[in-house]
Amino acid sequence: MKNWLEKLRAVKGGGFILLAVCCAAAALLLPLGGSTSSGMTEEEQRLSATLSRIAGAGETRVSIFYAQPASAFGSVNREVIGAVIVARGAGDVRVRLDLCRAAEALLGLSARQVEVFPMEEDP
């Protein structure tokens, strides 16, 4: 490893290449998708806020699944392949259907790509 670094420094522009490699490695270690203290990404939080406004839904939590992880540079064109919604009011069939239909419309998914579950009751 040390020899590799020395050879890289000797090459014209090697310092720039080394800096670029370090930046790329650091970007891979950063949390992707804007994960927040709630454990949901910003996109999941926005969707959760929208879904919680549906009559009877109450508190919601959303997980969105992608075909592949984001690139080191935070690619925004990731294909959504599924979503799981957990909501307080999802025990009601009508609410569950409304949540599913809203997620389908907002994420461009089919009904079979969205699962909705009732949230566990607080003790």
Please list the pLDDT of the chain residue by residue as tens digits (123 residues): 556 556 656 666 555 555 555 544 444 434 444 445 568 899 999 999 999 999 999 999 999 999 876 566 655 677 899 999 999 999 999 999 999 999 999 999 999 999 999 998 876
The residues, any chain, with a CB within 8 Å of residue 52's CB and separated by 6 or more, are: 58, 59, 60, 87
Total domains in the chain come to 2
Q: Are residues 8 and 48 in the same domain?
A: no
State whether 87 and 52 are in the same domain.
yes
Place of tokens 């419309």: 105
Q: Which token pair is 100? A: 């599913």
CATH of residue 91's domain is 3.30.300.30
Do 37 and 63 fall into the same domain? yes
Q: What phi, psi does 8 have (nearest 5°)? A: -65, -40
Quick one: 23 and 69 in the same domain? no
In a domain? residue 123 = no
Question: Is residue 18 domain-shared with residue 78, that is, in the same domain?
Answer: no
The separation between CA 53 and the C-alpha centre of its own chain, rounded to angstroms, equals 21
What distance in Å separates the CA atoms of residue 86 and residue 51, rounded to the nearest whole number?
10
Q: Centre a 10 Å sphere on the Cβ of residue 21 and count the other Cβ atoms it contains.
A: 11
Residue 37 inside a domain? The answer is yes
pLDDT recorded at residue 122 = 73
Q: What six digits make up the tokens of 52?
A: 């919680």
